[in-house]
Amino acid sequence: MKAVAIDGPAGAGKSTISRITAKKLGFIYVDTGALYRTVGYAMDSKNVSVQDTQGVKNALKDINIELKFIDNEQRVFLNGEDVSDKIRTPKVSMLASDFSALSPVREFLFDLQRDIAKKQNVIMDGRDIGTLVLPNADIKIFLTATPEDRAKRRYNEFVEKGVPVEFDKLLEEIKQRDYNDSHRAVAPLKQADDALLVDTTGNTLEESINLLFDIISKRLGL
Ligand code: DC
């Protein structure tokens, strides 16, 4: 099996670039952020706070998360309900970042992520894929861009979907999530020693996709 690990901060274009590159390669694209978002969403629905470690552990016992690939598109199910769209709000982004700092949550999602990569060729994106989840990935990429550039992309995505958002607020949230994700004690966001750093600041989406596709296909000998 072949595995491509793509890590990096929020809004660097990981998911769009990974999805399209996976399609070109005939690989499955696994968005691990969706799993943490689903946990954040579930905890919020159950009114469990991030400070309540025992409450989180108890709640995890009642949470069943499944990933299904329908027409090669990932859908995430929480106790049988497809929550793929509900988890894409700024509120859930922050909840995901908060709850993902807890080790019981990370342990809960670990095998699920690993098992997928055992069965098929994957491009998996997240924060700790190259460092912890798939340390033997065939290629590891750390994808980044300036916070302003990333906030601009997120802003445009929301505008396209007709969701009202403020740019300054998004920028603040991106900076806050960067800080949370890279300063937590467990599995912090950091570039793996053997990962290739790719900075997409100022690139068009097409430029970034072509760049990544070239790097990955060369490394995989395709
Ligand atoms: O990639 P995303 O923005 O959908 O991720 C949401 C949050 O989930 C992110 O702020 C941190 C967390 N996350 C994580 O801790 N580890 C991963 N592999 C993926 C996401």
195 DSSP 8-state letter: P
Q: Report pLDDT for 142.
A: 97
| Atom 15 of ligand 1, residue of closest alpha carbon | 100
Q: For the chain, what percent of residues have pLDDT higher than 90?
A: 90
CA-nearest of 6, 2, 95, 78 to 44 is 95
Q: Report pLDDT for 157.
A: 87
pTM to 2 decimal places: 0.93
pLDDT in tens, 146-205: 999 999 998 998 899 898 899 999 999 999 999 999 999 999 999 999 999 999 999 998
Residues 6+ apart with CB under 8 A from 57: 104
| Atom 1 of ligand 1, residue of closest alpha carbon | 33
Q: Phi/psi of residue 86, each to 5°?
A: -65, -25
Q: Report pLDDT for 18.
A: 95
Q: What is the mean pLDDT of residues 101-118?
A: 96
120 DSSP 8-state letter: S
Pocket-testing residue among 89, 133, 181, ligand 1, by greatest number of atoms within 8 A of Cβ: 181
Q: Report pLDDT for 52.
A: 97
Of residues 125 and 70, more confidently modeled: 125
Long-range contacts of 190-195 (CB under 8 A, 24+ apart): 190/131, 191/7, 191/130, 191/142, 192/5, 192/7, 192/130, 192/131, 192/135, 192/140, 192/142, 194/130, 194/140, 195/5, 195/7, 195/130, 195/140, 195/141, 195/142
Cβ(17) – ligand 1 distance below 6 Å: no
Q: Report pLDDT for 72.
A: 80
Q: Report pLDDT for 41.
A: 98
Q: Report pLDDT for 163.
A: 87
Q: What is the mean pLDDT of residues 107-130?
A: 96
Alpha carbon 147 to its chain's center: 17
pLDDT above 90 (res 1): yes
| Ligand 1 atom having least distance to the Cα of 101 | 15
Rounded CA-CA distance 82/63 in Å is 13
Q: What is the mean pLDDT of residues 118-132?
A: 96
Tell me if 170 sits within 8 A of 113, measured CB to CB.
Answer: no
Rounded CA-CA distance 35/72 in Å is 17
pLDDT in tens, 8-58: 998 898 999 999 999 999 999 999 999 999 999 999 999 999 999 999 999
- What sign for the dihedral angle of Cα 102, 104, 105, 110? positive
Cβ(38) – ligand 1 distance below 6 Å: no
Radius of gyration of the chain (CA): 17
Distance 105 CA to ligand 1 centre (A): 12
Cβ(11) – ligand 1 distance below 6 Å: no
pLDDT above 90 (res 71): no
